[in-house]
Every structure is written in C-alpha cells, then in structure tokens.
Amino acid sequence: MNPNYFRVIFSSLLLSLAVISNVQTAGAQAASSGLLISVTFKTDNPFGNSPKISGPEPAATAADSRFAAAKVWNNLFLAFSQTTNPQWQNLLDSHGQATAVDLSITGTVAGIDLYPFLISPDPLRSAFAAWNSWTNGGGGFGPGESTSVKWELTGLPPNTPFDLCVYGSAADIDRAFDMTIQGTRMSIPTFSTPVIGTTTGSVNPPPPSCVLFSNIVSSANGTIIGTGAGVGDSTTALNESNWSGFQLVQLPALRPNPRIGFQRPRN
C-alpha cells in the first residue's frame, strides 16, 4: 500500500473538520447579527390612545422564534385624519439603533386608534392605518381614502431573505384584507372584539395572531414592496382595511452544504 495513503487521509480529515467549523461559525454569526425591525402605527385620537409597544410579541415569536429578540419598536405616528403618501426614515432596529431602512406608503390612509372604545383592547392591534372606508363620502374622515395602497421598505441588505409577520387590527367587525409582498399574497385577519356599549364583535374572539410571510427576498437594490387591497365596494366602514404593523427579521443567507469526502490517491 502506498505509504502516503494514511497521511493524505489524515490531512483530508483535518481539512474537512476545518470547513465544518468555519461554516458553523459563519452561520452562527449571521443568525446573531440578523436585522430585526418592528413597526406599529400610533395616532392622536382625542378620546385616548393605546400605549406604545416594546418587547417580544407572542404571536410573532410562536411563528418564528427569531422575533423573541424584539426589544425596541418603531411606534410610527400617523395623524388622526387623512394622510397622503406618509413616509418614515431611518427605522430603529431591535436595539434602538437607527438603520438605513425607510418605510413609505403610497396612497391616502387614516390613523385610527380604537383603544378607548374596545372592551378588551389590544395595545398593538387597536391602533392602525386604515384605507378603503367611505371613499364615496360621508363617514370617517370624509371621502378621499385610497381603495388600495402600496408600501415599500428601502435600504435593506440586497438579495437577502427575511421573515415578515404582518398584523391585522382589533375591531368590532371583520375587516380582513389581502396583502401581497414580493408576489406572495395572504389574507390579514381582524381580531374582532366587542365595542363598549354594543354587542358587535365576537364574544369569544380568536387569539390575536400575525400572518407570517416566510423567506421574502429583498431585491438587488435592497427593497421589499407590498400592496394592501381594499375590501368590498368601499362605500361603508364595513369595507375598511386595517393594518396595525409588522415585524421583519433577517434570515441567515442560504449556504450550500460542504461536500465532505476522501479521494484515494492514485498509485
């Protein structure tokens, strides 16, 4: 037998172990340094408003354990009236550090907070951006809300996978709507709860949830684009779409498995 055989085998084994160690280390670093951004909408309802949000959210953590690391949230202000094309710069990450990520909404939306009116108010889902209500006039903040909206996140790492958990609102009626993110469409449900002094809403509402959009990849220029559809014909508040916010967490980059093996040297 070739006397160099065992030396080659031993050298190959050491090289393979080194490759495994480097891949595991890189994966751990990517997971620990992943970007995490949490967003909710807040307003200035003269009758009262929900408290600001911070910390992990149970439904999101159940959907993806990476969201358990959430600490600081972006409690974004949206006036208790109609606002056209709102935008917010330099969203904070989970540690409160400003990032290069901006959020913009294209369309006319309203900032609403039902916190003072709900029997079992949810601090996160009671406040929301609304559209498609009373667009033909008469109710809410008057005519003019968009029937659908487009939103955009810019300044993200390019060509990078993310998980997004999207929150519908708490309301007295079902105001679920379809949201599409990078081509993936899902229904965003309403957490229906009774209004004080009424019997509307679910007596035993389902637990608050978030809708997980998994493995959404940012574009080559670091952008993620979403759209929110309207509900019904938009002639009453029953057709209003309510969006309470979202969380976004960066996933480790996909890496090919190292090919481990030994080749017997030729004599």
The predicted-structure confidence for 177-232, as pLDDT tens digits, reads as follows 999 999 999 999 887 665 555 555 544 445 568 999 999 999 999 999 999 998 87
- Residues 169, 246 within the same domain: yes
Residue 15 has pLDDT above 60, yes or no: no
- Residues 16, 42 within the same domain: no
DSSP letter, residue 9: H
Q: Does pTM surpass 0.85?
A: no
- Residues 163, 235 within the same domain: yes
The reply to whether 114 falls in a domain is: yes
Q: Find, among 186, 200, 211, the residue nearest to 237 by Cα.
A: 200
Query: Using CA atoms, how far apart are residues 250 and 30, in angstroms rounded to an integer?
Result: 9
Residue 76 has pLDDT above 80, yes or no: yes
The reply to whether 158 falls in a domain is: yes
- The whole domain housing 20 covers 1-33
> Which residues, other chains included, contact 209 with Cβ-Cβ below 8 Å and sequence gap of 6+?
59, 189, 191
Number of domains in the chain: 2
- Three-state secondary-structure class, residue 154: strand
Question: 7 is written with which tokens?
Answer: 């030396």
- Residues 49, 103 within the same domain: yes
pLDDT tens for 83-116 read: 999 999 999 999 999 999 999 999 999 999 988 8
Q: What's the whole-number mean pLDDT along residues 103-130?
A: 90
Q: What's the whole-number mean pLDDT along residues 105-130?
A: 90
